[in-house]
Amino acid sequence: MTAEPARASLIDGKAFAAGLVERVAAASARLEAAHAIKPGLAVVIVGEDPASQIYVRNKGETTLRAGMRSETHRMGETTGQHDLLALIATLNADPGIHGILVQLPLPAHIDSAAVLGAIDPDKDVDGFHVVNAGRLAVGLPGLVPCTPLGCLMVLKAELGDLSGLNAVIVGRSNIVGKPMAQLLLGESCTVTIAHSRTRDLPALCRTADILVAAVGRPEMIRGDWIRPGATIIDVGINRVPSRDPDKAAQGKTRVVGDVAFEEAAEIAGRITPVPGGVGPMTIACLLANTYTAACRSAGIAPDDLSA
Ligand code: NDP
């Protein structure tokens, strides 16, 4: 009898996110009981983008489920930058609001960088402010972008001590690739960041004990790019036509990651699926950041939220 080839174990991001939301809820309840501080998150959405509306509703519902204060500010598509900045100034000054998130993308007539730069860095729970990017780069406490923070939490829960591991991150965006690299460097990994100009990407990927794919190209990373036993974190969210040709003809789609999952699962040791891997961690980390910001606003050390 021949043995079945070993398959990677699945990293269940949904279950991990549910656990993190529970831990944040418990920590927030302790903060409220001991210090009368209820963490508050304000989400600002401008315009009617349907996907953004769904994200914002999910964020509001999850925030309330965690026992936190949730505010959603909906502004019309034609809102001027001045009015949006005025709202941010009001939220910056509101002591009951500890986290401010401006849903992206903003309408084209608004300068997104100016808006994100106007958020108080200590309330910047998306972690996109240059002050928070700088704090992360020099190793000071700050607020870290939610998606890479979720990836790091999952990696630590799965692998424990990461020091000395080779990490390859494919993608160098400010919201995923670069902060992921900083976080893994902070864990003493040997980090390489790859991008569209990288030479011989497959060979580089084969050096990775940890491979983080944040590219935005469906199933670009193939099974034979993966080192046997490696841990694969697939951040990509790509819509491709349905497998069923009739459904595809009707415009039906499915979501895939940046990694060719079936091939990769034959070689890797651990892998996040898409959907159900990294995606669910993002909202959970938003709540974690809001809790952290609420604690720091009162000079209190946040509880450890790791699993
Ligand atoms: P960006 O488009 O900002 O960055 C993509 C990166 O991939 C760039 O650095 C680019 O290189 C690199 N790249 C593009 N093509 C190649 C190639 N052929 N070979 C190597 N590198 C390449 O994307 P984001 O970082 O914002 O997002 C990446 C993916 O993650 C997307 O699918 C997005 O939807 C998903 N995402 C998922 C989230 C979640 O919650 N799970 C949250 C955020 C993003 P260069 O810089 O040289 O152009």
CATH number for the domain including 225? 3.40.50.720
- pLDDT confidence bin for 185, thresholds 50/70/90: very high
**Residue 301 has what DSSP assignment?**
P
Q: Is 195 in the pocket of ligand 1 (CB under 6 A)?
A: yes
Nearest alpha carbon to residue 258 among 243, 270, 280, 240: 240
Q: Is 279 in the pocket of ligand 1 (CB under 6 A)?
A: yes
Question: Per the domain annotation, does 19 fall within a domain?
Answer: no
Atom of ligand 1 nearest to the CA of 198: 20
Same domain, 101 and 150: no
Question: Per the domain annotation, does 174 fall within a domain?
Answer: yes
Nearest alpha carbon to residue 299 among 91, 138, 120, 122: 122
Question: Per the domain annotation, does 138 fall within a domain?
Answer: no
Question: Per the domain annotation, does 160 fall within a domain?
Answer: yes
Same domain, 153 and 270: yes
Question: Per the domain annotation, does 162 fall within a domain?
Answer: yes
Residue 180 has pLDDT above 90, yes or no: yes
Q: Is 238 in the pocket of ligand 1 (CB under 6 A)?
A: yes
pTM attached to this predicted model = 0.96
Distance between Cα 72 and ligand 1 center (Å):
28
Residue 79 sits in a domain of what CATH number? 3.40.50.10860
Atom of ligand 1 nearest to the CA of 216: 32
Question: Per the domain annotation, does 286 fall within a domain?
Answer: no
The whole-number pLDDT of residue 307 equals: 79
Distance between Cα 216 and ligand 1 center (Å):
4
Ligand 1, pocket-test mutation among 172, 215, 222, 240, most atoms within 8 A of CB: 215
Q: Lowest-confidence range among 56-60, 99-103, 270-274?
A: 56-60
Question: Per the domain annotation, does 8 fall within a domain?
Answer: no
Same domain, 272 and 176: yes
The whole-number pLDDT of residue 63 equals: 96
Residue 1 has pLDDT above 60, yes or no: no
Same domain, 217 and 101: no
Residue 298 has pLDDT above 80, yes or no: yes
Element housing 7 (H / E): none
Same domain, 98 and 151: no
Catalytic residue among 59, 123, 178, 209: 59
Residue 232 · residue 213 · CB < 8 Å: yes
59 annotated active-site? yes
Distance from C-alpha of 17 to C-alpha of 307, rounded to nearest angstrom: 10
Catalytic residue among 103, 124, 178, 234: 103
Question: Per the domain annotation, does 263 fall within a domain?
Answer: yes
* Average pLDDT of span 168-178: 98
Same domain, 43 and 158: no
Same domain, 115 and 156: no
Residue 6 has pLDDT above 80, yes or no: no
Spatial strand order in the sheet of 9-10: 9-10, 270-271, 231-234, 210-213, 166-170, 190-194
126 annotated active-site? yes
Distance between Cα 105 and ligand 1 center (Å):
16
Same domain, 117 and 197: no
Same domain, 90 and 213: no
Same domain, 270 and 150: yes
Domain count along the chain: 2
Residue 231 · residue 209 · CB < 8 Å: yes
Distance between Cα 172 and ligand 1 center (Å):
7
Catalytic residue among 122, 124, 126, 234: 126
* Average pLDDT of span 184-202: 98
> What range does the domain containing 153 cover?
146-280
Quote the Cα angle for 211-185-27, to 5°: 95
The per-residue pLDDT for range 286-295, each reduced to its tens digit, is: 999 999 999 9
- HEC profile for 249-283? HCCCEEEECCECHHHHHHHCCEECCCCCCCHHHHH
3-state secondary structure of 32: helix
Same domain, 66 and 166: no
Q: Is 216 in the pocket of ligand 1 (CB under 6 A)?
A: yes
Same domain, 115 and 159: no
Atom of ligand 1 nearest to the CA of 281: 40
The whole-number pLDDT of residue 2 equals: 58
